[in-house]
Chains A and B, each alone.
Chain A
Amino acid sequence: MVQFINMLLIGIGAGSIYALMAIAMVLVWRSTRVINFAQAGMALLSTYIGFELVQKTGNFWIALPLAMILGALFSALVEILLIRTLIKHSTSGPVAGIVPIIATLGLLGFIRAMIGFIWGNQDIQIQPPLSKVGFKFGEETISLSPMNLLVLLSVLAMVLVLGFIFQKTSLGLSLRASAYSPEIAQLAGIRVGAIRTIGWAIAGAAGAAAGLLQTVNGTGAVSPDSLEFSLLLTFGFIAAVIGGLESLPGAVLGAVVLGLVLAAVQIYISGTLVFIVAFALLLLVLLVRPQGFIGTKAGRRA
């Protein structure tokens, strides 16, 4: 029983980490129809910036929002310098499916190399702002620490706030309209360029939070080649796809399901199977619902 509860907590905890990245990817997808594989790189960069800020200020709580702001700025810059031109040339035809992916992969490589230039390829460390020792119930220490709780609450807060923005505010409507059909959005008086930049900026901020939180929640160490970030990227993307890409709650749902299934497999079956199960889960979900948990199907065909 205790093990089962722990399994749930571990799964949800892991899911919340995937959710951080999935949210950022969904944000970019929803505001520009690009799958941003550089998201992990941008999160990594923000984490390094956060590291510098923690060094300078000595306080994680100051560093986090500052890193988010800088992450947003960087992300906005990427949108202005790269994505705009990219989209102009490759919105239609066969290249539309693959070129943005390759471009963001290129950007990922670029960011990694830049980080290596500046900070070297060795690990840097950030100390966690909260205890990572699990809460105690009597004798039992459960698999939920204040640090885990912070991550969970951040995910919750992000989904609520961003979900509200997307679904209920005019900014959200502008973001969606600009993504789906820029020309019509323009004709409706929306400053499409600026709106997309804002979309990327929000994703950049979310990505920065993802990077920093996952780092301090994990080992506390990062390097440009850190496996954690590669996994965060791929599992975050898988979670977003399972969730349906169109919806933030979907992304979180996808992430939590992924986290829970993997935790259950690791604890009750075998840790050997995680990667296979991740694939199997994705396949299974998409076979039943090709548009993910909360994705929407295209309207009518003719």
Chain B
Amino acid sequence: MSTNTPLLHAQGVSVSFGGLRALHDVHLQLNKNEVVGVIGPNGAGKTTLFNAICGLVTPDAGSFSFEGKERSWPRTDQLADLGIARTLQGVGLFPDLTVLENVMIGAQKFAKTGLISASFGRNTKDEAELAERSMTALERVYAGALANRRANTLSYPDTKRVAIARALVSEPKVLMLDEPAGGLGPQDIEWMNGLIRNLTAQMSVLIVEHHMDVVMSVCDRLYVLNFGEVISSGSSDVVRRDPAVIAAYLGTGA
């Protein structure tokens, strides 16, 4: 299913916090319509790698290219325009907005009216369009019925759905998911698997996850981080049998 056009390419990424080396010379490549997993022990640097790509930490070294063009590391607020969307490890909804509004925030980049027209109420059409896009995204994660609820009244699995809808609504080329299955029960995990697999028709997915069922069933390729370095990479089947990965991460039980 994956073609070999590198969509997102991070090379030689190094990040350190004070004396702590969180990432060291990490290479990561994501091709079109591919699902790539980043796994590794706690504190291995997975979220940090995401953060580097998202402009939330500044790498000490490394280069970044997107759609074949080398460019500077993106600023966080440029990601949406660039075509990258991400969910956060701790969900991160806007608590006192409604579900629909939450998703409309994600649809931001399609908004056309400026402050002046908005002030005169001339933005109804624009708003309607954003709302429509958002409803579509919500329905895609089966959360359309939640549209008018306040985000802080949702159940945990529902917050995860909404968070994904908020990422999807921007029609990203790359979707980055940080532990999407964390805290979910078997049914929801199953559903999540299906969703991610479906998404690959339109986009590439980069995923950090500890839940091996999810990882093994949806990922085309894996990178395994340990102490900030890539200790193994390749297809799921290869990686899961790599003794280094078993020792550092999977253990025998998995």
- Let me know if chains A and B touch directly in the complex, using CB atoms closer than 8 Å: yes
Chain A residues within 8 Å of B, Cβ to Cβ: 93, 300-302
- For chains A and B in complex, what number of residue pairs have CB atoms within 8 angstroms? 16
Partner of A302, one of B51, B95, B96: B51
Q: Which residues of B contact A93 (CB under 8 A)?
A: 95-96
Expressed in whole angstroms, the minimum distance between the Cβ of B105 and any Cβ of chain A is: 16
Q: Spell out B's residues near A (CB within 8 Å).
A: 47, 50-51, 54, 56-57, 88-89, 92, 95-96, 178
Q: Tell me which residues across on chain A come within 8 A of B96, comparing CB atoms.
A: 93
* Complex contacts, B54 vs chain A, CB 8 Å: 302
Q: Give Cα A300 to B50, complex, Å.
A: 13
Tell me, rounded to whole Å, the shortest Cβ–Cβ distance linking A159 to chain B. Answer: 27
In the complex the two chains form, what is the Cα distance from A93 to B92 in whole Å? 15
Taken together as a complex, chains A and B put the C-alpha atoms of A93 and B56 apart, in Å, by: 24
Q: Please list the 6 inter-chain residue pairs (A to B) with the smallest Cβ-Cβ separation, ordered nearest first.
A: A301-B56, A302-B56, A302-B88, A302-B51, A93-B96, A302-B89
What secondary structure prevails in chain A residues at the interface with B?
loop
Q: Apart from A300-B51, A301-B51, A302-B178, what 8 extra A-B contacts exist at CB < 8 Å?
A: A93-B96, A300-B56, A300-B57, A302-B47, A302-B50, A302-B51, A302-B56, A302-B88
Closest residue of A by beta carbon distance from B51:
A302
> Closest chain A residue to B48 by CB distance?
A300
Q: How close is B215's CB to chain A, nearest CB, in angstroms? A: 21
B7 → chain A, closest Cβ, in Å? 22
Across the two chains, which residue of chain B brings its CB closest to A301?
B56
Q: Which residues of B contact A302 (CB under 8 A)?
A: 47, 50-51, 54, 56, 88-89, 92, 178
A residues in contact with B89, CB < 8 Å:
302
A301–B77 CA distance with the chains assembled, in angstroms: 14
User: A91 CB to closest chain B CB, in angstroms?
Assistant: 13
Q: Could you list 7 examples of A-B contacts with CB < 8 Å?
A: A93-B95, A300-B51, A300-B57, A301-B51, A301-B56, A302-B88, A302-B178
Q: Counting chain B CB atoms within 10 Å of each CB, which of A93, A300, A301, A302 scores highest?
A: A302
**Which residues of chain A are near B50, meaning CB under 8 Å?**
302
CB nearest to B50 among chain A residues:
A302
Residues of the B chain whose Cβ atoms lie less than 8 Å from the Cβ of A301 = 51, 56
Report the minimal beta-carbon distance from B50 to chain A, rounded to whole angstroms. 8
Chain A residue, CB-CB nearest to B92: A302
CA distance A300 to B88 in the complex (A): 13
